[in-house]
Amino acid sequence: MADTRTAGTAGKADEVEEPGAGTDGPTKATGTTGTTGTVDAPVDAPADAPADAAVAADAGKQPRSVRVVLLALMIAMLLAMLDNMIIGTAMPTIVGELGGLEHLSWVVTAYTLATAASTPIWGKLGDMYGRKGIFMTSIVLFLIGSALSGMAQDMGQLIGFRAIQGLGAGGLMVGVMAIIGDLIPPRERGKYQGMMAGVMALAMIGGPLIGGTITDHWGWRWSFYINLPLGVVALIAVSAVLHLPKKRVEARIDYLGAGLLTIGITSIVLVTTWGGTEYAWGSARIMELAAIGVAAIVGFLFVQTKAAAPVVPLHIFRSRNFSLMSVIGFVTGFVMFGAVLFLPLYQQSVQGASATNSGLLLLPMLGAMLVVSLVAGRVTTGTGRYKVFPIVGSALMAVGLYLLSTMDTDTSRLTSGVYMAVVGAGMGCLMQITMLVSQNSVEMKDMGVASSSSTLFRTLGSSFGVAIMGALFNNRVQDVMSERAGALGSKVTEQSAQLDAASLAKLPVAAREAYQHAVTSGTHSAFLLGAVVAVAALVAALFVKEVPLRGASGGAGASGEAAVEKPAGDAAGDAAGVK
């Protein structure tokens, strides 16, 4: 039976208690501007209620405010994504001034660890205390970390300040996705999340170019200071335009669960980062970290079953779609960051591209990812259908990675560009659809933890991908160099893990050819592993149940899993998004 709520419930959105504020009782909408009068909306209202029409109508009346909020969110996402890309280009200059080459990897690891560990906590805080204030806090923390990083006087300070930046970045990424989830019904959300995929592609393309330009003309410290004006713009826009219902849940934060989760994630990321590089995979240090990580995660899961306000409510994984999308998100992160890492290496070492040009040569992959993501978002918005995208995306990703694994020393840039476009098209089908379906699979009160959990799985996937594919690549390079160039090959690999085109040209012909074959063999192994992992995403996608998206042209079905996907009372919270 359809609910009797109409667009009038959005008339006084500020008087509505936001769904998920910790109550199980009815949510009362007191708007009086509708045509049918005041209505009490019980929380067990049918899932196919036409409340989404109210959301669309209200959002349609104020498109300018929505656009301003989305612009601020895209700036915030750009800050989080662009930072590592810019810093990567500036790192040689930073090491030259501050020293501490042996600690170089920690500049990136500290940021990644802090981001991964804080992601679920930010999501839970947003659910408990309101999205806007928590999001603004994360922006401020990120800006503080950026300013301090720019003022660092030694490598130890820089690592510590990068950790502060990472804490803020975790809140930025979660906040953006959760706020979009609050403002826009899933049926309309695809096209906006496609824009976020475009921001990600822009960061990957522009990051190295911007980083090089800033470092050459302004100095490496401006690689951090550049965040400040962008962050201030985002902060002002969010403060002035974004209006979400205020709420406060009278429940204590699960500090024990948060601590165990942080220890578990930190240990696992360190295992994947150090294993095969700093320490042998079977070394005592790696085994200790692995044991600590497993014990902490098991303890965390136990605590979550007992906590009054768990950091990650385990009931969200009862949704088949949410669990499957977590797997697909993990695989997407695994593949994407591995591809971005090893393709420039192949292009510079084998195809003779410069560092800047190797970034531009990624355009086929990133461009395809952007275009397909936007198209997928539009199609999802127009039809409400989405299952085809995870299936097609996973298949394209697996095929594209296999094609990349067939590259050799004679592969042309055109051929490798076509292969990259196939991978990019696959990632474009997956990047934002995974988040969209994850958010549609939980109740509004769990929007923050759903967004943070999805982000966490993708972050962990990228950490595992870079570490495992990197270890496999390095081992193959060393083996092939030893086979083809003997003692000279071992000396070359010891001197540099990566040789750019200029350095490679100075090597003896035998060593240069051996190194090119070694890099080709390493990328073959890495991309072949990526293709195998991508098959897991394809298998998961086949089991996705296409639950109708909540949207203006009709809600989710009233039976089956759809009832979980569309909790009642969402309309009031969604309608209250922008002023």
3-class SS of residue 40: strand
Task: Give SS3 for 39.
Answer: strand
Place of tokens 């199609």: 379
* pLDDT average, residue stretch 31-49: 36
Q: Which tens digit of pLDDT belongs to each residue from 496-551?
A: 444 555 566 666 677 778 888 888 988 899 899 999 999 999 999 999 988 877 55
Q: What is the per-residue pLDDT across 134-152, written as a single tens digit (0 to 9) for each?
A: 899 999 999 999 999 989 8
pLDDT tens for 223-241 read 888 889 888 988 888 888 7
Q: How confident is the model at residue 490 (pLDDT cuts 50, 70, 90)?
A: low
Alpha carbon 76 to its chain centroid, in Å, reads 13
Query: Which comes out higher in pLDDT, residue 508 or 257?
Result: 257
Torsion of CA 38, 40, 45, 51, to 10 degrees: 30
Q: Which of 536, 221, 531 is nearest to 405 (CA)?
A: 531
Predicted local distance difference test score (pLDDT) of residue 428: 86
Name the percent of the chain lying above pLDDT 70. 71
- Tell me how far apart the alpha carbons of residues 377 and 400 are, in angstroms, rounded to a whole number: 22
| Mean pLDDT along residues 4-18 | 36
Residue 51 has pLDDT above 90, yes or no: no
Q: What is the mean pLDDT of residues 186-191?
A: 66
Which tokens sit at 224?
């951090």
What's the burial of 387, exposed, middle or buried (CB within 10 Å: 0-12/13-18/19+)?
Answer: middle
For residues 56 and 115, give the distance between their C-alpha atoms in angstroms, rounded to a whole number: 34
Which of the listed ranges 130-139, 176-185, 206-215, 395-404 does the model predict with the highest average pLDDT? 395-404
Say yes or no to pLDDT of 423 above 80: yes
Query: At CA 210, angle to CA 207 and CA 213, rounded to 5?
Result: 145
The set of residues, in sequence order, having a beta carbon less than 8 Å from that of 245 and lying 6+ positions away, is: 13, 14, 16, 17, 18, 130, 572, 573, 576
Cα–Cα dist 577/564, whole Å: 22
pLDDT over 80 (residue 187): no
Chain centre to alpha carbon of residue 387: 20
Distance CA 327, CA 189 (A): 21
Residue 380 token pair:
């999802």
Average pLDDT, the chain: 74
pLDDT in tens, 321-333: 899 999 998 998 8
The answer, yes or no, to whether residue 489 has pLDDT greater than 60, is no
| Cα(140)–Cα(449) distance, integer angstroms | 21
The per-residue pLDDT for 563 is 37
Instruction: Inform me whether the pLDDT recorded for 426 exceeds 80.
Output: yes
Per-residue pLDDT reduced to its tens digit, 304-321: 888 877 888 888 888 888
Tens-place pLDDT, residues 264-307 = 888 887 887 777 777 888 899 999 999 999 999 999 999 988 88
Sequence-separated (6 or more) residues with CB below 8 Å from residue 509: none
- pLDDT at residue 540, rounded to an integer: 93
Residue 78 pLDDT grade (very low, low, confident, very high; cuts 50, 70, 90): confident
Q: Given a cut of 70, is residue 184 above it in pLDDT? A: yes
Report how far residue 206's alpha carbon sits from residue 570's, in angstroms, rounded to the nearest whole number. Answer: 38
Q: Is 211 helix (H, G, I), strand (E, B) or coil?
A: helix
- One-letter-per-residue 3-state SS of 510-572: HHHHHHHHHHHHHHHHHHHHHHHHHHHHHHHHHCCCCCCCCCCCCCCCCCCCHHHHCCCCHHH
Q: Tell me, what's the pLDDT at 402?
A: 94
493: confidence class by pLDDT, cuts 50, 70, 90: low
d(CA 36, CA 45) in angstroms, rounded, equals 17
Higher confidence at residue 92 or residue 396? 396
